[in-house]
Homo-oligomer: A and B are copies of this chain.
Amino acid sequence: MSRRGLERAPCPIARTTGLVGDAWTLLLLRNVSFGQRRFGALQRALGAPRASLSRRLARLVEEGLLERRRYQDRPPRYEYHLTDKGRAFFDVLAAMWRWGEDWLFGERSAEVALVDRRTGRPVRPIVVDEETRAPLALGDVRARFGRANA
């Protein structure tokens, strides 16, 4: 299945994968989400080839997750800001954070904590059913073909 195939898939996980199923793209979204907005800083932080980052940033702009704003005229320099769509993607990053912290650090906790911006209290994201607010377990759900609002 090609990337373009994924974008037309009936399954939301497949479509999301077509857009962000790539390491640099996920790291770019992480860094921009935590306030690193300038191309040069992103490039230094991630150590990725410039062309790879440019291409991914352009795609994220095209898909409406990021907005490019000029912050300097000579030479022209740009920053990348999250749109509402890009900001909403933080849910996926938060779920990745939680899973990574639970399963990829052994006995020690991660060296970066997610904290409440005002109080400094550590925040632990979990995924729940919106209606019941109960944790969502794979065993409780299944995928059903057909539109929910058809």
Contacts and interface: CB of A to CB of B under 8 A. Distances in A.
Nearest to A102: B88
Copies per assembly: 2
Contact of A123 (B22, B103, B129): B129
B110 A12 contact: yes
**Interface residue tally of chain A, by bracket?**
35 or more
Given A115-B141, A129-B123, A1 B104 contact: no
Nearest to A100: B12
Interface of A is mostly: mixed
A144 B10 CA distance: 38
Contact of A95 (B14, B22, B91): B91
Interface in A130-150: 130-131, 133, 136-150
A47 interface: yes
Nearest to A12: B100
A110 B10 contact: yes
A105 to B, nearest CB: 7
